[in-house]
Amino acid sequence: MKLVVGLGNPGRTYEHTRHNAGFEAMDAIASLTSASITQKKFKALVDKVQIGKESVLLMKPQTYMNNSGEAVRAAMDFYRLSPQDLLVIYDDLDLPVGKLRLRQKGSAGGHNGIKSIQAHIKSQEFDRIRIGIDKDARIPTVDWVLGKIRKEDAQAYQESIEQAAKAAVFALQHSFADAMNQFNKR
């Protein structure tokens, strides 16, 4: 069993904001796998699917970003998963819009959703797909991440969401190392 988590904030207020890149990637994964991430469980919306040989729980935590670890920990405890069974997809201010970065471990890099997950599972050793949202030094970080994608960035952003979904599915069918080799080139 694998757990794939897309980070974001629930509710209409946050739809299509930069901080919800993970939720948008989960919707793209759902389209690729005919999933419906609507079942309420573990303080999240989930669906269980088969991807290749893997049984996979797709998750969109409903705890708000800063408490994402609560939902992740609950699912990991229920299914007795280790950090190596976890893949998290989220936004990254330090990457330009349209850029993906796949990594197998690392620090939270200031991302509160990742900080929460690391605190709850007591590990940094999990796979992650970071989706670039860039930053604008003139705009406070909180306003930037909770803002909508600019029109001039919309196409690159949408392509990165779709690539993140493809990378996640590819990693589940092959290996995360193979996905890194394939998708980090872009």
Domain boundaries, the chain: 2-183
pLDDT score for 118: 95
Candidates 81, 133, 134, 91; CA nearest to 112 is 91
pLDDT score for 91: 94
pLDDT score for 4: 97
pLDDT score for 110: 77
What gap in Å lies between CA 21 and CA 15, rounded to an integer? 9
User: What CATH homologous superfamily does 2-183 map to?
Assistant: Peptidyl-tRNA hydrolase (3.40.50.1470)
Is 20 labeled as ligand-binding?
no
What gap in Å lies between CA 81 and CA 120, rounded to an integer? 13
Is 157 labeled as ligand-binding?
no
pLDDT score for 58: 97
Catalytic residue among 19, 111, 120, 174: 19
What gap in Å lies between CA 19 and CA 178, rounded to an integer? 27
pLDDT score for 126: 96
Candidates 87, 90, 83; CA nearest to 58 is 87
Q: How high is the mean pLDDT in each 10-residue block of the chain (186 residues)?
A: 96 91 96 94 96 93 94 97 96 92 86 93 95 91 89 94 96 93 80
- Report, in angstroms and rounded to the nearest whole number, the Rg of the chain calculated over CA atoms: 15
Q: Can 16 be counted among the known catalytic residues? A: no
Is 14 labeled as ligand-binding?
yes
What gap in Å lies between CA 161 and CA 130, rounded to an integer? 10
What gap in Å lies between CA 76 and CA 151, rounded to an integer? 38
β-pairing, 54-61 vs 2-6, is parallel
pLDDT score for 73: 97
Q: Are 88 and 126 in contact (CB under 8 A)?
A: yes
Helix (H) or strand (E) holding 28: helix 21-33
DSSP 153: G
Two tokens, residue 11: 């509710």
Is 9 labeled as ligand-binding?
no
Whole-model pTM? Answer: 0.93
β-pairing, 44-51 vs 127-132, is unpaired
